[in-house]
Structure 1
Amino acid sequence: MGYHFSAHLGFLFKDLPLEVRFEAAAAAGFDYVEHPSPFELPAKRFRELLDQNGLRMAQMSSGNGGAGLKGFAALSDHTDAFREGYLRAADYAEEVGSPFLHPMAGLMTEAHDRAECQKTWLENVLWAQEALKGRALNVIVEPISEATFPGYYLSTLGVLEEMLPELPENVYAFVDIFHAACNHEDVCAFIRKYADRVGHLHIADHPGRHEPGTGEIDFAPVDRCLKEAGFTGCLGLEYHPMASTNDGLIWRDSWPIFRTKSGE
Structure 2
Amino acid sequence: MARFAPNFYHHYLELPVRERFAAARASGFDAIEWHFPYELAADALGVLLDDNGLAFLYAVMPVDWTRDKGLAGLPGREDECRAAAERGLAFLSRVGAGSMQVGAGVVPEGASREHCVEVFQRNLDWICDQARGTGVDIAIEGVCNARFPGWVVQTIGETAEVVRTVNRPNLKLVYDTYHLRMEEKGPLTPLLDLYWPLIGHVQIGNAPGRHEPGVGEVDLFHIIDALEAKGWTRPIGLEFDPASDTWSSLRWMERYGYPACTAPANIKAGMPARRSSV
| TM-score above 0.5 | yes
Look up the SS of the partner of 2:32 in the other structure.
strand
Q: CA offsets, 1:24-57, max 9 Å, x none?
A: 1111111111111111111111111111111110
Tell me if structure 2 keeps the 8 A contact 1:63–1:104.
no
Structure 2 gap segments, 5+ residues each = 257-278
- What SS does the aligned partner of 1:81 have? helix
Further displaced range: 180-189 or 112-121 = 180-189
Alpha-carbon displacement from aligned partner over 1:123-145 (angstroms, at most 9, x marks no partner): 11111111111221211112111
1:75–1:117 CA contact under 8 A, matched in 2: yes
Query: Cα offset for 1:236?
Result: 1.0
User: What is the deviation of 1:219?
Assistant: 2.1
Cα distance in 1 between the residues matched to 2:64 and 2:208: 28
User: For 2:250, what is the secondary structure of its paired residue?
Assistant: helix
Residue correspondences, number:
254
What does residue 217 of structure 1 align with? 218
CA distance in 1, matches of 2:236, 2:108: 31
What does residue 14 of structure 1 align with?
13
Superposed displacement of residue 16, structure 1? 1.0
Q: Tell me the amino acid that sits aligned with residue 222 of structure 1.
A: I
CA drift at 1:111: 2.4
Letter in 1 for 2:57: A
Which residue number in structure 2 is paired with residue 181 of structure 1?
181
Q: Contact 2:101/2:139 (CA < 8 Å) preserved in 1?
A: yes
**DSSP-derived class of the 1:58 partner:** strand
Counterpart for residue 228 of structure 1:
229
Structure 2 equivalent of residue 156 of structure 1: 155
State the match for 1:237 in structure 2.
238
CA contact (8 A) 2:74 2:104 kept: yes
Partners of 1:4 and 1:135 lie apart in 2 by 25
Distance 2:221 2:244 in 1: 24
Deviation at 1:254, TM superposition (A): 4.0
Please name the residue that 1:82 is paired with: 81
- Residue 163 of structure 2 aligns to a residue whose secondary structure is helix
Taking the aligned partners of 2:224 and 2:211, their CA distance within structure 1 comes to: 18
Distance 2:188 2:63 in 1: 25
Taking the aligned partners of 1:135 and 1:184, their CA distance within structure 2 comes to 34
Is 1:36 the equivalent of 2:35? Answer: yes
1:168 is matched with 168
Partner of 2:91: 92
Q: Give % identity.
A: 30
Contact 2:204 / 2:220 at 8 angstroms: preserved in 1? Answer: no
Deviation at 1:91, TM superposition (A): 0.8
Instruction: Answer yes or no: is the 8 Å Cα contact 1:57–1:99 preserved in 2.
Output: yes
Secondary structure, counterpart of 2:175 in structure 1 = strand
Pairwise mapping of residues 17-166 of structure 1 onto structure 2 (< 5 A)? 17-166=16-165
Q: Can you list the C-alpha shifts for 1:191-235, whole angstroms capped at 9, x where unaligned?
A: 212323211111111111111101110224322331232112221
The residue matched to 1:106 in structure 2 has which SS?
coil
Q: Distance in 2 between matches of 1:68 and 1:18?
A: 23
Give the 3 Å change call, closer, same or farther, for CA 168–229 of structure 1 in structure 2: farther
Alpha carbons of structure 1 residues 193 and 184: separation in structure 2 relative to 1, 3 Å: closer
